[in-house]
Chain A
Amino acid sequence: GAVVSQHPSWVICKSGTSVKIECRSLDFQATTMFWYRQFPKQSLMLMATSNEGSKATYEQGVEKDKFLINHASLTLSTLTVTSAHPEDSSFYICSARAMGGKLFFGSGTQLSVL
């Protein structure tokens, strides 16, 4: 079945550094990818919708200059958390929409900012 690969699975970084998270659709082309954030015991919160070859659409309250999204190809989207701070510590997960609308999720990235 279709697989979405997300890397890294976890990352620890110092405050002020930038962290890049990759999301790849391995055996299908994803014209649309979604980036979510999840706090412990809470539901997923959509951060942005990423369309191949165009600028991402950010949800209200999500800083586009802080959470840079690039969807350079039909199989790869990246989320870069710039100048990370402890409050950015969270679980980030991507999903990709395949033809027909079915969604496939990455395994998530646990970010801890010290």
Chain B
Amino acid sequence: AQSVSQHNHHVILSEAASLELGCNYSYGGTVNLFWYVQYPGQHLQLLLKYFSGDPLVKGIKGFEAEFIKSKFSFNLRKPSVQWSDTAEYFCAVKLTGGGNKLTFGTGTQLKVEL
């Protein structure tokens, strides 16, 4: 079965620091990849997604992610974080042709300090 690993469970950064959150998946076939974010007290929402084409995808609020097929990775990055980026971030994978079913990682809790 496919699985998604997020190795950083808790990350604490100061404002303006750079961010990289790791995401690895275990599946050898074609996948669609997603990052979702859950701000405190809010519902989960899509941050960005990769289906095909340019492996570097840009999302909302200055986030980007790079799909590296050889490494089965889809790491999330932001050059300079803000206090408002404090949230929980989830990586998710969907098998192409696998219906609409997403498999989520365990999440990374990011805290940005002023």
- Chain A bound to chain B: no
| Chain B residues close to A by CB (< 8 Å) | none
Q: Which residues of A contact B (CB under 8 A)?
A: none
